[in-house]
Amino acid sequence: MGENGTFWLPEGASTLSPEFDSLFYFVVIVSTLIFLGVVGGMLYFSFVYRRRNEAEMPEPVHDNKLIEMASVVIPTVLSLIVFTWGFKMYVKMYVAPPDSYQVHVRAQQWSWEFDYPNGTKSIGELHVPEGRPVRLIMNSKDVIHSFFVPAFRVKMDVLPNRYTSVWFNATKTGEFDIFCAEYCGTAHSKMLGKVVVQSESDFTNWLASSQKGSQTPVEHGQTLFTQMTCNACHTIDGSPLVGPSFKGLFGHEVKLADGSTITADENYIRESILQPGAKVVNGYSPIMPATYSTMASEDVDALIAYIKTLK
């Protein structure tokens, strides 16, 4: 496996890539061996046992328990290996380490926009530190896109009506391609970007020197909290008003009016802002107005970022 990739795979630049590549090569090699065995056997038998003259009658063939067992057991074992290995990897790729650096990704026809926790924004270029897990929280302003970085072996759909996320831990500095991997209209094939992996100190310098919004997402969320009068019904100190308090909400279980429970993640909070009637909290009435259903996705992100800080 060369520095700049192989015939089969591009260069790997994240902690996930070696394991991903091993699984890929395992499947390719096993499939090739089976293919050669089946086709080779077929050619061999059709030559050796060909009919040599018109009068020749084949011997009757009897069953062979060993071959029958093997043709059930071997494929089953191979499928189970691939399933178990793949499932373990999937779980690993899906669940970001809790200390991940979080960046918001917004997709739209036909560009990528990135929001960093300190208020920095960038378009088309995602800057990340080397050797630190980065979690991307993604949503789309219009249609379905898919965020794909081949070098990191990560790909995830980016949807207009909920958040999806991926994480990676880059193992080398440099620039790596971002592709949109879901057909999203005329300029889909031009919906490209770059991940710029920098050393921790270069990254810190970049963050400090680049264009910042006037507020960080958390500050923006805090402003919205009063500006949009969320505070008329929700407190941040734990006491209930007409609506439940935001204190200690994020990441915790919420009991709903229908008796079920749900973990308050980004998607739950987003839904509760945009469609307040969808999941009403136990003990409260469904009286939150639909005023907030038209909130810009940046504002929703900011409010969630603020709510996350209310531990």
Which residues here bind ligand CUA, judged by CB under 6 A?
110, 145, 180, 182-184, 188, 191
CB of 192 to ligand CUA, least distance (A): 10
The nearer residue to ligand CUA, 145 or 234, going by C-beta atoms, is: 145
Angle CA 166–191–295, to nearest 5: 65
CB of 50 to ligand CUA, least distance (A): 53
State the Cα–Cα distance between residues 278 and 297, nearest whole angstrom.
18
The nearer residue to ligand CUA, 149 or 288, going by C-beta atoms, is: 149
The nearer residue to ligand CUA, 141 or 172, going by C-beta atoms, is: 141
CB of 45 to ligand CUA, least distance (A): 48
CB of 155 to ligand CUA, least distance (A): 12
State the Cα–Cα distance between residues 154 and 251, nearest whole angstrom.
24
Q: Are 158 and 138 in contact (CB under 8 A)?
A: yes
Q: Distance of CA 160 to CAs 37, 163, 224, 244, 291, Å?
A: 47, 8, 22, 27, 19
Instruction: Give 168's contacts (C-beta < 8 A, 6+ positions apart).
Output: 14, 15, 16, 133, 134, 149, 152, 154
CB of 14 to ligand CUA, least distance (A): 22
The nearer residue to ligand CUA, 26 or 110, going by C-beta atoms, is: 110
The nearer residue to ligand CUA, 145 or 220, going by C-beta atoms, is: 145
Residue 77: enclosing H or E segment and its boundaries?
A: helix 65-94
Angle CA 244–311–291, to nearest 5: 40
The values of phi and psi at residue 153, to 5°, are: 60, 40
The nearer residue to ligand CUA, 191 or 236, going by C-beta atoms, is: 191
CB of 138 to ligand CUA, least distance (A): 12
